Structure 1
Amino acid sequence: MGALLPAFAVVLLLAVLLSSLANRTILSTAALFLVAGFVLGDGALGLVSLTPADEIVAVLAELALFAVLFSDGMRVGWRDLREAWRLPGRALGWGLPLTLLVTAAGAHYLVGLGWAQALLVGAILAPTDPVFAAALVGNDKVPPRLRQLLNVESGVNDGLALPFVVLFLAIAAGSDDLHLGELGLELALGIVIGVAVPWLAIKLEQTRWFSASTQYEPLNGLAIGLLVLALGKLTHGNLFLAAFAAGITVATFGRRQRESFEHFGELIAELFKLAALLVFGALISFPLLGSVGWRGWLFAVLALFLARPIAIWISFLRSGLTMREQAAVAWFGPKGFASVVYGLLVLGSGIAAAQDVFQVVAVTIILSILLHSSTDIVVARWFDDERDVPAWHGAARRLRDRARGGLAPPTGPE
């Protein structure tokens, strides 16, 4: 475990040096950290030796998920949700639960997991991640409604899936350990902390007695996040729901605080993401990949190519989206970075089926990262009307359109 920090530093430096190339090609920094973790871990070289019982695994998973949910929540204030709710509402209100149920059915009937464990797998694999669709969200050639849909959905569904993960994990732990009253109190307390702390902090800064300097302004969001984390720890409120609620509260009531912290916060969340991916990869081994059997791998393929597409197709019936847009939305799911951390949390939870659930989740996430993070550029080019085409092709198309009455007479030479 002592080699973890130097290993992360070396891989991070390599990722930075290759980041420009990754933005233009199918090379993926997420895949780089996953593969590096596997190669450096017990699955290959054994330089980074980790077990699920190691404290660093649980601590890193907790901090990574907190940072990701806080930054996700900050991307979507209530005003953003109200202004752009029609299409994301379909994806979140119908697509998320349908993806969960279809994935759970596959885990139950194909892999043979009990319904509690299967529903837990569905909840873990339901969220999407904006990192895996970055080329679409940041491409001006992609229709704005599609970019907005992917951006809002990926920013909200981690937090929406969280209560289901917590509930199904408690159910999978056994009826003796399931206390719905305590679980509800933990979730409610997390929401209260997540709303109250940033709201009070923002209102204090808006008084005449307090004002953050330009130099310290980006630290405002960090201080709010740390205070939410500390209070959640002290009161046993749900840390992750508190983080998500805090992010939304900052985005809603503190536009200036949101803008000043946005870039800084994304960098912090990205560091935790990459570190968790390295640890996740180090926990993967050839015996684990083989132990799921052909049914586990078939489930992973079906989760990628059927679960989310079926859910999206049903959710966006008569929505006005083109087939190309629906295909792009359907492809970038159902696994996000939160799935990685949810899987690590389950692995360290101590439930009887923790290893079985983790194995199924792990192979699905591995396929997702390798496929989704390396195809975002390819899918984005579907919408690039300026990509190079033969001159005769453009001329032929214009002649065809004019013949159909679709274009005015040409104003210049063909």
Structure 2
Amino acid sequence: MFDGPSLVFFAAGLAVFMAAVLPKILRDIPVSMPMVFLGAGILAFTVLRNLPDPDPVRYADVTTHLTEVCVIISLMGAGLALDRPVGWRRWSTTWRMLGLAMPLTLLGLTLLNLWLLGVGLAAAVLVAAALAPTDPVLASEVQVGEPADDEEEDAEGEAEDEVRFGLTSEAGLNDGLAFPFVYLAIALSVVGTAPSAWLPHWLAIDVLWRIGMGLLLGFATGKGLSRIFFSARLESIRLSNHSEGFVALASTFLAYGITEMLDGYGFVAVFVCAVTIRAAERTHGYHRVLHSYVEQLERLLTVVILVLLGGAIARGLLAGIGWREIAVAAAFLLLVRPLAGWISLLGGRPGRRERLAIAFFGVRGIGSLYYLGYALGKGNFPGGEQLWAMIGLVVASSIVLHGVTAAPVMNRLDRLRERVAEERFGDGRQAPDTPV
């Protein structure tokens, strides 16, 4: 009666349905959708012993490509959602988090890995590089919502408070900008630690060329696509008039594919492409159509990955974890990232409470899984199972820690912002742009 295929179809249908309703149900309580599906995966693979082990080491290629697709789709969604035009001052929080917080996080975690875990330099840098970027996939509770289509709100991004904007824009760019350090770890594992063996190639190719190509090709792809979407001479291919949301997926793959073919960073290109498309006809309702499609697809992929991650944990992914790994994970989530973020934002746009929130909500997730899988397939890292255990521990801990705290903290900030704005301006219309 309850045969395998029918049970799988039922479970898949239930999971998709829950992915649609859970974000709305859990909006104001200290439980997040990632927490629910991670727990569901742990429960399912514990009870149903006939399910195959979702081992990321055994199924390395599947793990790498599944997480890769999920990340690039989420990057497109993050770029389309940002209302605020790109600018040095308007994006000052982003530049501070990328230029100061991420390098400080990388350095701090690398030293922790060397000191407490006793791994080699290459493995220490790899774990730090995989965990340094914040995640655009699992951080929906603390990121901006759908694109604004009101001209007054959108002109300067006034609908976005600094916390949600800072975390979204940071996650959109730092996923790609962490890649040079992943390549550095791979180089250290293959050619050794002598600078003469890796430094020239790393600087010229992995830093300058790959980042440059990501920025250039992302911008060019976004410009070309935005012309087709909004100002094509032929009415039949002016897609903004036809509400074709699935072309957001085409935009994602085009930007990513052409950039990767030319040895650029596809992650950077996808986000830049999305921001460039958004800059064209900024208040056009088509941006909401594109973003809605991407968001739904991202959510489905996230459900699959989280259930499989929960299954891997249930089947022993964290079996090798000891007190040292727990100490590193706790120090990273509670000390290294928050301290690096706090220092980076001193004197910036966010108020004191906002600064603390941005520093604390450095969610780790799908991108970390991708980076580790990619590097293990390219480099020479002994003890891959232990590295997977470490990354899995931090990601799972982040899902729980940030999932429990996101709704209460963000709701509290919203209420404070409205109260301050009402005291200052007499109403709450300018609340999102009011520092607290």
TM-score range, shorter chain: 0.7 to 0.9
Check whether the contact 2:30–2:404 (CA below 8 A) recurs between aligned residues: yes
Which of 355, 371, 380 is the matching residue for 2:401?
371
> What's the counterpart of residue 267 of structure 2?
240
From the superposition, tell whether residues 328 and 192 of structure 1 become closer, same or farther in structure 2 (CA, over 3 Å).
Answer: closer
> What's the counterpart of residue 390 of structure 1?
none
From the superposition, tell whether residues 7 and 384 of structure 1 become closer, same or farther in structure 2 (CA, over 3 Å).
Answer: same
> What's the counterpart of residue 409 of structure 1?
none
SS of 1:271's equivalent in the other structure is helix
Mean CA deviation greater in 24-33 or 224-233: 224-233
Check whether the contact 1:121–1:361 (CA below 8 A) recurs between aligned residues: yes
| Letter aligned with residue 223 of structure 2 | W
> What's the counterpart of residue 198 of structure 1?
222
Q: TM-score, normalised by structure 2?
A: 0.75
Counterparts of 1:201 and 1:14 in 2: how far apart (Å)?
34
Check whether the contact 1:127–1:157 (CA below 8 A) recurs between aligned residues: yes
> What's the counterpart of residue 351 of structure 1?
380
Offset of 1:196 from its aligned partner?
Answer: 2.6
> What's the counterpart of residue 38 of structure 2?
34
> What's the counterpart of residue 63 of structure 1?
69
Offset of 1:42 from its aligned partner?
Answer: 7.1
Instruction: Give per-residue Cα distances to partners, 1:62-96, cap 9 Å, x unaligned.
Output: 21122122323334588334452233322222112
Matched, 1:158 2:185: no
From the superposition, tell whether residues 337 and 316 of structure 1 become closer, same or farther in structure 2 (CA, over 3 Å).
Answer: same
Which of 318, 327, 331 is the matching residue for 1:302?
331
Matched, 1:208 2:213: no
Instruction: Give per-residue Cα distances to partners, 1:234-267, cap 9 Å, x unaligned.
Output: 5565433332332233233463454441222222
> What's the counterpart of residue 252 of structure 2?
225
Check whether the contact 2:257–2:266 (CA below 8 A) recurs between aligned residues: no
Which of 392, 410, 415 is the matching residue for 1:380?
410
Offset of 1:301 from its aligned partner?
Answer: 0.7
Counterparts of 2:295 and 2:81 in 1: how far apart (Å)?
10
Check whether the contact 1:37–1:279 (CA below 8 A) recurs between aligned residues: yes
> What's the counterpart of residue 280 of structure 1?
309
> What's the counterpart of residue 79 of structure 1?
85
Counterparts of 2:160 and 2:338 in 1: how far apart (Å)?
20
Counterparts of 2:214 and 2:299 in 1: how far apart (Å)?
23
Percent of pairs with identical residues? 28
Counterparts of 1:384 and 1:241 in 2: how far apart (Å)?
31
Paired residues in the alignment total: 384
Which of 44, 50, 53 is the matching residue for 2:58?
53
From the superposition, tell whether residues 204 and 303 of structure 1 become closer, same or farther in structure 2 (CA, over 3 Å).
Answer: same
> What's the counterpart of residue 393 of structure 1?
none
> What's the counterpart of residue 399 of structure 1?
none
Counterparts of 1:19 and 1:59 in 2: how far apart (Å)?
26
Counterparts of 1:355 and 1:240 in 2: how far apart (Å)?
26
Counterparts of 1:66 and 1:144 in 2: how far apart (Å)?
24
From the superposition, tell whether residues 357 and 81 of structure 1 become closer, same or farther in structure 2 (CA, over 3 Å).
Answer: farther
From the superposition, tell whether residues 174 and 65 of structure 1 become closer, same or farther in structure 2 (CA, over 3 Å).
Answer: farther
Counterparts of 2:66 and 2:362 in 1: how far apart (Å)?
24
Offset of 1:149 from its aligned partner?
Answer: 2.6
Counterparts of 2:89 and 2:349 in 1: how far apart (Å)?
18
RMSD: 3.5
Check whether the contact 1:72–1:156 (CA below 8 A) recurs between aligned residues: no
Offset of 1:161 from its aligned partner?
Answer: 2.2
> What's the counterpart of residue 391 of structure 1?
none
Counterparts of 1:167 and 1:90 in 2: how far apart (Å)?
23
Instruction: Give per-residue Cα distances to partners, 1:102-142, cap 9 Å, x unaligned.
Output: 1121111111122222122122112224653625856xxx9
Which segments of 5 or more consecutive residues in structure 2 lack a partner in the other structure? 146-158, 417-436
From the superposition, tell whether residues 30 and 340 of structure 1 become closer, same or farther in structure 2 (CA, over 3 Å).
Answer: farther
From the superposition, tell whether residues 17 and 31 of structure 1 become closer, same or farther in structure 2 (CA, over 3 Å).
Answer: same
Counterparts of 1:253 and 1:145 in 2: how far apart (Å)?
23
Which segments of 5 or more consecutive residues in structure 1 lack a partner in the other structure? 387-414
| Letter aligned with residue 113 of structure 2 | A
Counterparts of 1:34 and 1:246 in 2: how far apart (Å)?
31
Matched, 1:167 2:184: yes
Matched, 1:333 2:362: yes
> What's the counterpart of residue 134 of structure 1?
141
Check whether the contact 1:69–1:159 (CA below 8 A) recurs between aligned residues: no
| Letter aligned with residue 59 of structure 1 | H
Counterparts of 1:50 and 1:349 in 2: how far apart (Å)?
21
SS of 2:313's equivalent in the other structure is coil
SS of 1:80's equivalent in the other structure is coil
Counterparts of 2:184 and 2:80 in 1: how far apart (Å)?
25
From the superposition, tell whether residues 10 and 320 of structure 1 become closer, same or farther in structure 2 (CA, over 3 Å).
Answer: closer
Check whether the contact 2:172–2:271 (CA below 8 A) recurs between aligned residues: no
| Letter aligned with residue 378 of structure 1 | P
Matched, 1:119 2:125: yes
